[in-house]
Amino acid sequence: MRERKGIIVFVAWRELRFARGRFLLIGAVVALITLLVGFLSGLTGGLAAQNISSVLQLPGDRLVLQQPENGDPSYATSSLDEKKVTAWEQADGVESVTPIGIVQSRASASRIDDPTGVALYGLPQHAPGTQSNPLFDLAPVHDDQVGVSSGAADGLGVETGDTISITGTDFTVSVVGDDLWYSHTPVIALTPEAWSEASKRVGGTGEATVLAVTGNAEWETIGAATGTVAETPLASLTALEAFRSEIGSLGLMIAMLFGISALVVGAFFTVWTMQRASDMAVLKALGATTGSLVRDSLGQASIVLVAGIGVGLAGVIGLGTLAGQALPFIISPITTLAPAVVMAVLGLAGAAFALRSVTKADPLTALGSNR
């Protein structure tokens, strides 16, 4: 294996050292694009988490929402009366149904003057499949209690035992839990009864807005019969308007950035490889195999890509850590390594596209060519 990469470590490394300014420029562009893509991915991830982190904790094989007569289902407008809940409970193949209420409101605490926007969840205790569920860990026992996510606790400046006011009613904080969000507002959990009252006070129906259903049922048939729609938890996220619009535009930006990255990095390597075409012809005339020259070119591109992406990734983690204190920013493998891998693949694809000038380099041109 060591013998096979002889020409790579020989010519490619020396060219990298010889034309270091050019390679630094290419590497810097790769690093900046990686930084841009990584930063946007981290921000998208952070915004997404602020939208959906609590929804992703909802249990069940399907989440049932009201299917409006016109338009798409929506978490914000869904309302499921007792008749619908009962229909789902009695449907064939359904094992359990957990009615859950979600509504956005405001909460205040004596320590903070201004009220804070919050998402109120009506959560029953001991619902099926909710062991070690950070959302259901917030579910209070008594109607005068609330479970507060850490984001809400920070916003309101409260801790366990403090009192907060929601829609004019005081509640005691029974627990401060994980950092869970719904549509950019931190989560506060109430009992289903307390939530129903709160919902009515903010103009809602007081009825559950979503059912967490387990089982193996004819989801579409039951949905059609009950005026509801049953979606997988992931698919149900499209019923969150804020998430849908944000992820759509940010996802488009990331996709376009990847496209631009592929063009820029590919163009760099195309031009560079074309400039090497005469050297390739000489090496071929001297007896170099096309395979060894291809490995040389791809190896060279890989070195530049890995170095550029590494620097860019370090920048994402460094700046992301700082930005995370002020912005919804997530540093995770999916927001750092995934963009880095995509960048590497696109860069190598660009370099591979340019390989034609290597494979097609005619050794005959080395004879009598003016270099």
Q: Mask 14-53, x = binds other proteins (CB under 8 A)?
A: xx-xxx----------------------------------
Q: How far is the CB of 360 from other proteins (least distance, A)?
A: 13
Query: Of all helices (H) and strands (E), which one includes residue 165?
Result: strand 163-166
Residue spans of alpha helices (H) in 205-354? 219-226, 241-275, 277-286, 290-323, 333-353
3 state SS of 89: helix
Taking CB under 8 A as the rule, does residue 83 contact other proteins?
Answer: no
Output 46 or 299, the one with its CB closest to other proteins: 299
Helix, strand, coil percentages in the chain from 3-state DSSP, rounded to 5: 55, 20, 25
SS3 101: strand
Which of 229, 288, 316, 344 touches other proteins by CB under 8 A? Answer: 288
Cα–chain center distance at 178: 19
What's the CA gap between 321 and 228, in Å, rounded? Answer: 42
Binds other proteins (CB under 8 A): choice among 34, 78, 292, 357: 292
3-state secondary structure of 191: coil
- Name the minimum Å distance from CB 271 to other proteins: 16
Cα first-last separation, the chain: 34
Residue 130 CB, shortest distance to other proteins, in Å, is 60
**285 binding other proteins? (CB under 8 A):** yes
The whole-angstrom separation of Cα 262 and Cα 23 is 17
Q: Which of 283, 304, 309, 343 binds other proteins (CB under 8 A)?
A: 283
Binding-residue total with other proteins (CB under 8 A): 33
Binder among 81, 291, 321, 334 for other proteins (CB under 8 A): 291
Residue 11 binds other proteins (CB under 8 A): yes
- The binding site for other proteins (CB under 8 A) comprises 2-7, 10-11, 14-15, 17-19, 279, 282-289, 291-292, 295, 363-364, 366-371
